[in-house]
Structures are given as structure tokens and as C-alpha cells.
Amino acid sequence: MPENNRSARNPVGRIKTSNAIYPILIGLGVVGYLFYKDFNPKVFDVIAFSWGMLWWLLVAVLLMAGRDIGYMARLRILSRRELTWRQAFRVIMLWEFTSAITPSAVGGTSVAILYVHKEGISVGRSSAIVMLTSFLDEVYFILMFPLLLLLVGKNALFDINATTESVFSMGLITIALIGYFLKLIYVLVLSYGLFINPRGLKWLLLKIFKIRFLRRWYRSVNNVGTDIILSSKEIKHYRWTFWGKAFGTTFLSWSSRYLVANVLILAFFGMSDQLLLFARQLVMWIMMLILPTPGGSGFAEYIFTVFCGDLIPVAADLQKGAATLIAAVWRFITYYPYLIAGAVIFPRWVKTHFSRRVFPKKR
């Protein structure tokens, strides 16, 4: 497909800043319900208000900054330094905003190519950058899940507490495994396309999506196949040092994000099993892959209270309330700032890049 035709597509036309209100309402609604149902004011009696608390809250904010810096550094590595820090910041904020207002299974990847391209990168290289970003993210999950499962054990990871019914625990295991294997299949298929046979993968995808009930996605799959071919051409000369730097920044980004909840619990209550909480958050993120709510809103808050509440060192009758408090603060730090930043940056970005209409020259 000619580059000018591809860049003429404007998938951001379907994105509206007003859509940010829906995940906010869902998330706050769930948190409000949990507070009404489970919160015990005695939780405040066990919180040690001190300078130490303020320090850990600052660390939580710094970890989120580290997460974004890691993402920005990765974009600069993948773009061969063609993107400045400011451009990388803009792309990350737009990307995260799109992810925050779309279902977790959709995310912001579908329009990220356009975000990168409009910063002055060719369509082919933009496709490669976004494909590799997605690939590296999924590889992180594929590698870390079995490693953490080995370190903490299945029972500790999924057997939440003595009062949790085994059916619920089995449901969590099932959701996690479905999400994990979907990610594994995606990585294997994308690896085949990027590194072995991109044209063969596109041909296979188009054959599959000619099936009657899949035809509605045929055009989108054709575009994805083209992106894979362009990406494969771009990355075939990359060296091992490049991959090391790219995965290093990926590890920094995701690990920083997960550690936010750890330091929040340390700030309010203190805790001992840091590794187990870290592992459970990774499982939570895998679960969010198959959820329909924008940015996992509502589910993330709820599952945090039931999946991580038993790790908070307070009396059993206070754990749900304490977990609800941490979940609310956790989402305010890790989720809502992207809604705000995106709502500010997105309209200006659209106005800058799409306000001028280009008309074909007369012959």
C-alpha cells in the first residue's frame, strides 16, 4: 500500500476525549460500592501517619515516572534516536490515553502507528516501532509469569485466603491461563511474521479472515499483515545490543509499574511478602487482557481487593476495607493521570496534525 494512502487514514477520528468519562464513572462507581460494602473506619486506626508514609507515596509517584521514562527511552531506541524526548513523551501520553479509554483487549496499539508516524517517522518504521513495542511487552509477560510462578508457587499465587471458595480460585486460574496462552499465541505468531515469513503470515491471515463470520475484519487484518511486512524489513538488521537495550527498558517500565502497589501498602500498613504481591499484579494484568471495560476500569479495582487484600498486614475484618483504600490510591496514581494528560494533549495534537486538509493537485 502506498505510504501516502496509509497515512491518509485517520483512525483517531473515532477517539473522543469525552469517552474518558466512562472509565472514570465505572472505576469510581466500583470503588464507591466497595467502600460502602466493605470499608471499616477502624482502618484509619492502624495507619501510621508519618514522614515515612509521605516518603513511600513519593516513591510510588517516582516509580510511575520511571515507568514512563522507560517507555520513552524505548521509543527513542526503537526509532534510532529520531524521536526526541518531547516527542516520545507525547506519543506515550497519547498511547496510554487511548489504552485507558478502550477495552484492555483493544488497547491503543491500533492507532499508535499513526501517533508515531505523525511525529515525522515513515509509516514503515512506525509500524516496526509499534510492532516491536507490542512484541517486547508480551515477551515480558511470557517470561515473567512462569518465573514468578516457580518462585512463589501456584498455591500462594492463587489461593487467596482461607475464606475464599475454591471455585473462585479456580476461576482466577482459568482466566489467568486463558490470558497467558492468548499472549503466548500472539508472540509466536508475531515472531513467525516478523522474523521468518511475513508474507506467508499475511497470506494465512487473509485466508482465515475470508471465512464468512470473520469477513468484517478482513480489511483490518490486511492492514495488520502489511504492517508486519514493513516491520520485518525494518528490523532484520538489528543487532543483539539493540535487543538488549530494548528489553532492558521494557523490564524497567513494567517492573516499575507493578512496584507501585508494593510501596503503597508499605506507605500505609507495611508488608512482608513483596515478591508475592508483585507476582499477583502480573497475573492481574494478564487477566485484564480479556475484559471488555475501558482500561480494565472497575475490574482492576475489584480484583485488587480480592486478589491482594490478604497480603495487607491488618486484622482479617479490616483487610477488605484496607485493600479498597489501597486500590483507590493505586488507580489514582497509575491510571487516572493518563486520562487527564490525554484529555489535555489529544485535542491539541489532533488540531495540529489534522486541521489542514490536503487536496490533490489538478492536472
Q: Average pLDDT in the 21-47 region?
A: 82
Instruction: Name residue 294's beta-bridge partners.
Output: 103
What's the mean pLDDT in 177-198? 88
Does pLDDT of 16 surpass 80? no
255's grid cell:
517492573
The 8-class DSSP code of residue 192 comes to: I
Higher pLDDT, 235 or 149: 149
Mean pLDDT value across the chain: 82
pLDDT at 8 over 50: no
- List the single range of 4-8, 58-62, 202-206, 298-302 with lowest mean pLDDT: 4-8
Sequence letter at residue 101 = I
- For the chain, what is the domain count? 1
Report if residue 10 sits inside a domain: no
CA-CA-CA-CA dihedral for 230, 231, 233, 238, to nearest 10: 160
pLDDT category of residue 5 using cuts at 50, 70 and 90: very low
Q: What are phi and psi of 164, to 5 degrees?
A: -80, 130
- Give the pLDDT of residue 351: 82
Cα 284 from Cα 244, distance rounded (Å): 27
Residue 74 belongs to domain spanning: 15-354
Q: What is the pLDDT of residue 350?
A: 82
Q: Is 60 exceeded by the pLDDT of residue 363?
A: no
pLDDT in tens, 73-130: 999 999 989 999 999 999 999 998 888 887 655 555 668 888 998 888 887 788 888 8
pLDDT at 70: 95
Helix boundaries (H) for 39-84:
51-78
- What average pLDDT does range 13-37 have in this prediction? 77
What is residue 10's predicted lDDT score, i.e. its pLDDT?
57
Is residue 1, in this structure, part of any structural domain at all? no
Per the model's pLDDT, the better-predicted residue between 294 and 277 turns out to be: 277
